Chains A and B, each alone.
Chain A
């Protein structure tokens, strides 16, 4: 049973309907893209660049929201705001939570 906090099944079934046979392909694209987004967030944190953090988080937020990954979307928004504020002291913690949330989404998507 998937926790709806991780993945909104209603959105997911809508996606299935739109994508048809290409749904599996979309999931693959999402997974590949997510790995790129997570490493972009990590890189931005390592270089201590708040704007890079904001943009990486913003981009991940968009795809996460369309996939119906509610917790992941909220965490990305939080990190985007932190990046936007210029003070990224708490960013590290949020980034770890994002990695955790994504692992749940990945598992749920199968």
Chain B
């Protein structure tokens, strides 16, 4: 890029080249009179030297000189000037048209001798104006180039900062496929995936209004809230609520975020979804080829901060092999060269035409690419596919899991006694889970540990302290009745306790967690557990079968009011 030039260099510098000294003298006088800075040269060679030294704004050039012809000097000056427009005016008393045409071809204009003052002044002024215009253009071009360069650099920095905060999470898991533009953050799209302490996969796709840096503003606090809340074991509802509050606080009024969030529990085959303003997403049932649409039924995030913000999630039963498809409107709005949009119908056609479900993700991408053809100005498609698999197949790269630095609670014991006022209103499980998640290397087993503790705790609370009969739960009517009963009993609880005693010792190869849960209830006839048939019939409500399958050992003591479970993990 050339040197930075003033838009309107004032006064202009003029180089007068004429072998005739009286001519030079006359022109020099004339331009000095009109406030120009004048330099002069008597030969072609002097002219080039002087040009390099003084870098004039305009050159008056005698056509016939003894050393180098005026035309040749002009060609060399033009080469030296480069991008810079420096007008060259030939001084000539030649009159043949061919020479005059050549003057305008090689240079920019000519002045015929004898000079007319008026013509001289008019021509030079107009050429200086042209040069100033050219300078302005070059300056603006350079400014735009520099600005664009700065912008790209800023975007790069922003993207690197963003990538650190909103790391890909567990998007690399075997059962996840996704497509995301490398600059998606500047399209306003955010894709996050993490695993809760209970072992559930939680995915988030957000689409901020607008494009560019301002659309990316909300992504960082969003990602930070998402990962922090997820790591601490908060429920989907609480995560949704917290992200909404964060976005309401930071986003300007005209900026909001359409979002889809889903939590997949591979253990009990439940999918919990919350869609706020994204297009209908889809569960594709592999056995029946049924397409279940997950329509938006909430207002986007970052608009409503009030308590009536609806974070209610919908729950779907899923089977291994089913697939969840999540997309932002980029896929619907992908345009071909005629300006038609890809749209919902074409997208659904891809599902209808699919024969092998494992190809579906690629088929969607191919269909969109094929549709937009060469008109693809910018890749703006965000697409996510999650395959439901059996719980034991959902394994994660340990490095992708959070909190794997080997520091934390390695050898410890705690005892937590919960009395009526606490039992009434507080769920101790997230708190316990949070503590357990600070145990190095235990996180991948979070789901199993959570299940064991949560089953034991609810047994103690519901059957022990509250004295509820698990048999009531067996019918679906009973199930509702059971929970109504549970609420009523809790509300009037005035005595009783649950003691949770956790004892852990472990290193990076393995560990062992002893869980003792004792309650103030009357206990139960745990001896009958030895008899399998009776066990299945009478105690299924206690989830003992499940606890046994997940823990190393389970036994009861006392009247059955004290349960001992051991959870052992090893690499």
Q: Which residues of A contact B (CB under 8 A)?
A: 11, 14-15, 18-20, 22, 25-26, 29-30, 32-34, 37, 55, 58-59, 61-63, 65-68
Contact = CB atoms under 8 A, between A and B. Distances in A.
B22 A14 contact: no
B93 A33 contact: no
Contacts of A33: 20-22
A11 B114 contact: yes
Nearest to A23: B29
Contacts of A34: 22
A11 B114 CA distance: 9
30 contacts: A15-B26, A18-B29, A18-B33, A19-B26, A19-B29, A20-B29, A20-B33, A22-B29, A25-B25, A29-B21, A30-B22, A32-B21, A33-B20, A33-B21, A33-B22, A37-B20, A55-B64, A58-B64, A58-B93, A58-B94, A59-B20, A61-B113, A62-B20, A62-B23, A62-B62, A62-B113, A63-B22, A63-B23, A66-B22, A66-B113
B30 interface: yes
B66 interface: yes
Tell which of B20, B25, B64 has the most Cβ of chain A within 10 Å.
B20
Nearest to A18: B30
Given A34-B22, A58-B64, A68-B114, 5 more contacts: A20-B33, A26-B25, A33-B22, A59-B19, A65-B113
B426 interface: no
Contacts of B25: 22, 25-26, 29
Contacts of A11: 114
Contacts of B412: none
B520 to A, nearest CB: 118
A19 to B, nearest CB: 5
B338 to A, nearest CB: 65
B19 A66 contact: no
A18 B34 CA distance: 10
A26 B27 CA distance: 11
B117 interface: yes
Nearest to B93: A62
Contact of A67 (B22, B64, B117): B22
A68 B26 CA distance: 13
A107 B19 CA distance: 25
Interface of B: 18-23, 25-26, 29-30, 33, 62, 64, 66, 91, 93-94, 113-115, 117
A68 to B, nearest CB: 7
Contacts of A25: 25
Contacts of B117: 14, 18
Contact of B115 (A26, A58, A66): A66
Nearest to B29: A19
B64 A66 contact: no
B113 to A, nearest CB: 5
Contacts of B23: 62-63, 66
A11 B115 CA distance: 10
Contacts of A62: 18, 20, 23, 62, 91, 93, 113
A33 B115 CA distance: 18
A32 B114 CA distance: 19
A26 B19 contact: no
A59 B64 CA distance: 8
Contacts of B115: 66
Contact of A66 (B21, B26, B66): B26
Contacts of B113: 61-62, 65-66
Tell which of A11, A19, A34, A59 has the most Cβ of chain B within 10 Å.
A59
Nearest to B120: A18
A15 B18 CA distance: 18
Contact of B26 (A18, A37, A58): A18
Contacts of B33: 18, 20
A63 B29 contact: no
A68 B114 CA distance: 8
Contacts of A22: 25, 29
Contacts of B94: 58
A18 B115 CA distance: 12
B515 to A, nearest CB: 109
A29 B22 contact: yes
B66 A55 contact: yes
A11 to B, nearest CB: 7
Contacts of B22: 26, 29-30, 33-34, 63, 66-67
Contacts of B93: 58, 61-62, 65
Please provide the 7 A-B residue pairs with the shortest distance between their CB atoms, ordered closest to farther: A30-B22, A65-B114, A63-B22, A29-B22, A29-B25, A33-B22, A66-B114
A9 B66 CA distance: 31
A16 B18 CA distance: 21
Nearest to B22: A30
Contacts of A63: 20, 22-23
Nearest to A34: B22
A65 B113 CA distance: 7
Tell which of A19, A29, A61, A62 has the most Cβ of chain B within 10 Å.
A62
Nearest to A61: B93
Nearest to B28: A22
Nearest to A26: B25
A69 B275 CA distance: 95
Contacts of B19: 59
A52 B242 CA distance: 94
A32 B29 CA distance: 18
Nearest to A31: B22
A18 B32 CA distance: 10
B36 to A, nearest CB: 14
B186 to A, nearest CB: 63
Nearest to A77: B93
A25 B64 CA distance: 25
A68 B21 CA distance: 16
B25 to A, nearest CB: 5
Contacts of A26: 22, 25-26, 29
Nearest to A58: B64
A32 B21 CA distance: 9
A77 B25 CA distance: 22
Nearest to A80: B93
B291 to A, nearest CB: 90
